[in-house]
Amino acid sequence: MNDTHAESALPPQTVLYQIATGHYFSRALFLVAKLGIPDLLAEGPRPIDELAQETGSHAPSLRRVLRLLVSIEILEEHEDGTFALTSTGEWLRAGIPGSFRSTVLLLSGTSIQEAWGELEWVVRTGDPVFRKRGFSDPFVQMAQDPDAAANFDEAMAAFTKIAAVAVAAVYDFAPLRTVVDVGGGNGALLIGILRAHPHLRGIVFDQPHVVERAQTQIAANQLADRCSVAGGSFFDTAPEGADAYLLKHVIHDWNDEDALRILKRCRDAMPEHGKLLIVENVYPSRIDRSLESRGATANDVNMLVNTGGRQRSEAEFTALYAAAGFTLTRIVPSPIVSVIEGVRR
Ligand code: SAH
């Protein structure tokens, strides 16, 4: 795993060809997810003409695109010309537990793809793409497209649901009574933690139009008696007096200056004994060819392009905590994401 290229028997030109054509596959994956083809295949194999008819497509062209995905084991084509989902393709179905559809729509969707098209501009200027487009903040830009914003929340929540189980298991929530999830999105993290720890109460804090969706999730999980929502901007305020302030995949969206403003608002809102719990992955001290390094660098450059934020190393978190008036006390790892704990200095 540590030396994928050397271990593979492929000629270097083939390796480069595969990387250079990666966008062919991601565009095809996006299209198939968008057209809902995985849902049409949920009950089993279907002929191309039916798939084309139900998705309003040109059958011979659709077949060629589906075959691209056959070549990378997302779909399979049977002798009789029907197409079916592989065990990987199954996860593109909508609405199933663990569905990856919204994540594919987000990561290989038009907004992120077009932003990566500006990579040269980003590297020359050091600015994220939303600045070129005249927006003050990436989330202000996203709010202009309600479908994209709803899909973003869904994609975050799908991952966060799994992360919540891991965080609830590795971090000791027993000494805490109240927790605020700052920039908590759909509430998936707090919901997962409250379900695992029945003594806890919590508040999901996010932009007003986002917490509306969190409220629905809280009610659906029968947690309305222990969990509420608050709408506002974390640059201005945070709900007061909780024992801990969770920030999952929020701080990586922002540069150090903005991240400090958010952390200071949390510090202002918390009691003396309050804890800061940033839930994110820590950027490795050395990049190698592991999946961890690939994930960290991919996420980091995606933040560079799209939000102006970054993935931070332990040393960078330590410095950020100190600048915001916290001491980084420990990093509690889980198989999915780490909890980076801080206390007030
Ligand atoms: N913590 C969630 C969502 C992370 S995405 C999770 O991990 O699943 C970042 C979140 O920050 C989004 O939900 C977004 O709405 C929120 N956010 C962005 N700007 C904000 C602001 N100014 N005030 C409050 N929340 C904001």
Q: Examine the domain organization and report whether 277 and 308 are in the same domain.
A: yes
Spatial distance between the Cα atoms of 289 and 297, rounded to a whole number of angstroms? 11
For residue 277, pLDDT over 60 is answered with yes
Q: Examine the domain organization and report whether 51 and 128 are in the same domain.
A: no
Spatial distance between the Cα atoms of 307 and 165, rounded to a whole number of angstroms? 27
Q: Examine the domain organization and report whether 145 and 173 are in the same domain.
A: yes
- Tokens coding 217: 């999730």
Q: Examine the domain organization and report whether 58 and 135 are in the same domain.
A: no
Domain boundary among 53, 70, 99: 99
* 234 close to ligand 1 (CB < 6 Angstrom): yes
**Number of folded domains in the chain?**
2
For residue 189, pLDDT over 60 is answered with yes
* 167 close to ligand 1 (CB < 6 Angstrom): no
How does residue 1 score in pLDDT terms, banded at 50, 70 and 90? very low
Pocket test for ligand 1, best of 103, 167, 206, 280 (most atoms within 8 A of CB): 206
In the predicted model, what is the mean pLDDT of residues 237-259?
98
Strands 46-47 and 82-85: what pairing? antiparallel
> Does 237 fall in a domain?
yes
In the predicted model, what is the mean pLDDT of residues 287-302?
97
> Does 71 fall in a domain?
yes
- Residue-level pLDDT at 144: 87
What is the percentage of the chain residues whose pLDDT exceeds 70? 98
Distance 105 CA to ligand 1 centre (A): 19
Q: Examine the domain organization and report whether 94 and 118 are in the same domain.
A: no
> Does 92 fall in a domain?
yes
Of all protein residues, whose CA lies closest to atom 3 belonging to ligand 1?
185
> Does 320 fall in a domain?
yes
Pocket test for ligand 1, best of 154, 167, 209, 250 (most atoms within 8 A of CB): 250
- Residue-level pLDDT at 288: 97
* 233 close to ligand 1 (CB < 6 Angstrom): yes
For residue 235, pLDDT over 90 is answered with yes
Q: What is the pLDDT of residues 104-144, one digit of tens each?
A: 999 999 999 999 999 999 999 999 999 999 999 999 888 88
> Does 324 fall in a domain?
yes
**Which atom of ligand 1 is closest in space to residue 152's alpha carbon?**
5
CATH number at residue 93: 1.10.10.10
Q: Examine the domain organization and report whether 90 and 168 are in the same domain.
A: no
Q: Examine the domain organization and report whether 75 and 24 are in the same domain.
A: yes
For residue 203, pLDDT over 70 is answered with yes
Q: Examine the domain organization and report whether 93 and 205 are in the same domain.
A: no
- Give the DSSP H/E element, type plus range, for residue 130: helix 129-132
For residue 55, pLDDT over 90 is answered with yes
> Does 4 fall in a domain?
no
Active-site entry in 5, 58, 209, 252: 252
Q: Examine the domain organization and report whether 330 and 190 are in the same domain.
A: yes
Q: Examine the domain organization and report whether 241 and 149 are in the same domain.
A: yes
Domain boundary among 99, 131, 161: 99
- Residue-level pLDDT at 141: 84
Distance 185 CA to ligand 1 centre (A): 5
Regarding predicted confidence, which is higher, 40 or 97? 40
For residue 295, pLDDT over 50 is answered with yes
Domain boundary among 64, 99, 134: 99
- Tokens coding 19: 């990387």
Q: Please, are residues 130 and 137 in contact by the beta-carbon 8 Å criterion? A: yes
Distance 250 CA to ligand 1 centre (A): 6
Q: Please, are residues 158 and 182 in contact by the beta-carbon 8 Å criterion? A: no
Is 252 part of the annotated catalytic residue set?
yes
In the predicted model, what is the mean pLDDT of residues 286-305?
97
Question: What residue type is 113 in one-letter code?
Answer: Q
> Does 214 fall in a domain?
yes
Q: Examine the domain organization and report whether 33 and 126 are in the same domain.
A: no
Distance 6 CA to ligand 1 centre (A): 40
How does residue 5 score in pLDDT terms, banded at 50, 70 and 90? low
> CA dihedral defined by 294, 300, 305, 307, rounded to 10 degrees?
140
Half-sphere exposure of 92 (CA within 13 A, CB side): 28
> Does 2 fall in a domain?
no
Q: State the residue range of the domain holding 229.
A: 113-344
CATH number at residue 270: 3.40.50.150
Q: Examine the domain organization and report whether 257 and 157 are in the same domain.
A: yes
- Residue-level pLDDT at 143: 85
Q: Which of 284, 286, 272, 257 lies closest to 338 in space, CA to CA?
A: 284
For residue 155, pLDDT over 90 is answered with yes
Whole-number average pLDDT of the chain: 95
